Structure 1
């Protein structure tokens, strides 16, 4: 998982050495500003809409829509697992041919990307289908055993509209597989990020602090302590990062000098921000103070990352700045409002609890209406 913003003067997917005669010319100030402004916007979109959808999700029948709850044990182990994965990828790229590894990864993310993008665009596409559209229901059921011992392994319900979304997503997938174009990469990256924020749920604020604190150390070590993360980020040809060309103004859509932001810097703070939105709703005060505070903190933290990177001309671990901001700002607000106890005692409801399902129906509408009013 890439988790570092790239150096604006060395942001391409192919790193050129300082003595290489093919070194690209420095990016213009306008190009740098456009690239990092675009990365900031692309990071904010999946967090905002993913948090909204996290309130509505996981109450349906489809297993794919059920949230994956992260416990404190999961949070404590995650930095270790991420470190082993990152180091393993680094060794693979050192030992084996980069071309074949990326080919295998491309096929893997081709399938995942199509499914993620289809799930992302489905709610938006439903608004464009006419009322007369012949929509049929389907069910994919896979069971194990028989009689009383029968157990459902897969029980997925979908309709014709979902198949249309899957077809459109497949076009993007083929485009990405054949061209590796940065726009196709970003479409998949945005879909992965939004799905992550929507479907990965922290069970409480303490778990979020453990997860962000552990990844804070992970990020700092692998970026400042070694060259592992930057090397993997530049060698790994998969939509695990958002990219934007710094030479777009000069070369148009064929630009190739990229600035990048790892999806970890979007999803990890994003699931914490989404948790605070659900905490806001649980207070039943018709306000979203903690959500907006943490959202503003994310903007501040990522902006500070870009500023520091531009000053020191070195790739930065974004979580170094995002974690203190995303945790510190909401805690300060809780201290000012005297709600620290409520914040840290808040627990996510069990999605299978009938009472939680009933309560969620009322909170979904209030969350959407409240946020829409504030945005206007």
Structure 2
């Protein structure tokens, strides 16, 4: 009977360093590329908006902005609460139902989400690579319409078909094997897509998001750690990136032990870093209204926040490795990212501009909400006026008799001149 394998302290130490570096890379890459993917074409705010008919051609497609969902401070305030409710719900489901059924449902859901995310990320990546190589890919268009209205329009290329097939195989392979590499690819794609699609509309929203997650994570780490550990141990879904603690030198057939990083610790700071990049674009666009899609502008806030994220990650790894304790990582990352913006704004004397900044998408949404609210108030006022007219008592109608009518009329007067014409009758 073979003795149990025991790695040497040197191997364990080297394996942990490799795991930390790999996790930092898996976190850095989606944040960096997701931030640039979230940028839209800069447009002059003073330029009058024009409605342009939808045309499907290559020139228009290049100018189309990526779809995004702007998050206000009110929206970000709800995220930690919703996350806690989800964790409570998972704990309840695992306690009341068979763990295999719960994992099956979660695996199906995240496999489908990962399928869409991986397809989109793969299409964007391959399209960019082919564009750099100067390779033109033919596209097909699907239009569903009737003479008066267009219902649906879609464009796809051979790249879409290839990535669809690859994503189906990847999602199926993960669902069948729960392989950690396939899980990392799905989690990586989910993080990149989330940073690209969602955007913070102001630094206030970013501070509320990161601060709320700090409080929530501290509660679950110190206040109700048994619930958190129970859920983490029983649920196996791609909501984290993982890397083996000892990858090199481990005998074949031995199970890996993993170090991991949750998607929340990538996406939330990633949204804040992307906000810093959009603020840098805003500053550059104020000076150069023809900036367009160019990214060749100075990026002090983006660079500061990105370096702060890496530094916060490194400090957390060092503290955990030295003290051998579990601490909320999001607290390190949030403090580092927020502090970097404060310091950069103070040094550049731009605190007022930074904390008074609202993204162009946020301003457009606020303007649309105000217009909708004004319209609602107008309609309510019109309804009240109409209701008041309907409920008002009828006015009394006074019927006038013929005698009163004739009495009210003045008597006709006849004026007679003293010199009447000859032959005229005397009156």
Query: Structure 2 length as normaliser, TM-score?
Result: 0.70
SS for the counterpart of 2:261 is strand
Question: Deviation digits for residues 288-338 of structure 1, max 9, x if unmatched?
Answer: 000000001101111111112112322221111111110011111101111
Question: Deviation digits for residues 18-77 of structure 1, max 9, x if unmatched?
Answer: xxxx99978711111111111011000000000011114899989994111111111111
Question: Deviation digits for residues 245-284 of structure 1, max 9, x if unmatched?
Answer: 1121133796521111100000000000000001011111
Matches within 5 A, 1:90-101: 90-101=91-102
Q: Tell me which of 303, 307, 310 is aligned to 2:321.
A: 310
Equivalence for 2:105: 104
Shift of residue 350, structure 1, vs aligned partner? 2.8
Aligned 8 A contact 1:125 1:165 in 2: no
Instruction: Work out the CA distance in 1 between the residues paired with 2:260 and 2:169.
Output: 24
Q: Tell me which of 157, 160, 163 is aligned to 1:159.
A: 157
Q: Tell me which of 135, 138, 157 is aligned to 1:135.
A: 138
Aligned 8 A contact 2:70 2:362 in 1: no
Determine whether 1:287 maps to 2:275. no
Aligned 8 A contact 2:143 2:150 in 1: no
Structure 2: give runs of 5+ residues left out of the alignment. Answer: 44-59, 288-296, 365-427
Equivalence for 2:246: 247
Q: Tell me which of 191, 194, 208 is aligned to 1:193.
A: 191
SS for the counterpart of 1:28 is helix
Aligned 8 A contact 2:41 2:65 in 1: no
Question: Deviation digits for residues 320-373 of structure 1, max 9, x if unmatched?
Answer: 1111110011111101111011111111113997xxxxxxxxxxxxxxxxxxxx
Change over 3 Å in CA distance of 1:139–1:231 after alignment to 2 = farther
Aligned 8 A contact 1:58 1:67 in 2: no
Equivalence for 2:407: none
Matches within 5 A, 1:1-376: 28-56=12-40, 65-126=66-127, 127-128=129-130, 135-139=138-142, 156-227=154-225, 228-251=227-250, 255-284=255-284, 286-350=297-361
Instruction: Work out the CA distance in 1 between the residues paired with 2:34 and 2:341.
Output: 19
Instruction: Work out the CA distance in 1 between the residues paired with 2:40 and 2:360.
Output: 13
Equivalence for 1:15: none
SS for the counterpart of 2:360 is coil
Bigger radius of gyration among the two = 2
SS for the counterpart of 1:119 is helix
CA RMSD of aligned residues (A): 3.1
Shift of residue 233, structure 1, vs aligned partner? 2.4
Greater relative contact order (CA < 8 Å, ≥ 6 in sequence): 1
Query: Structure 1 length as normaliser, TM-score?
Result: 0.79
Instruction: Work out the CA distance in 1 between the residues paired with 2:182 and 2:79.
Output: 29
SS for the counterpart of 2:250 is helix
Shift of residue 225, structure 1, vs aligned partner? 1.4
Change over 3 Å in CA distance of 1:310–1:51 after alignment to 2 = same
Shift of residue 122, structure 1, vs aligned partner? 1.1
Structure 1: give runs of 5+ residues left out of the alignment. Answer: 1-21, 354-376
SS for the counterpart of 1:316 is coil
SS for the counterpart of 1:161 is helix
Change over 3 Å in CA distance of 1:131–1:151 after alignment to 2 = closer
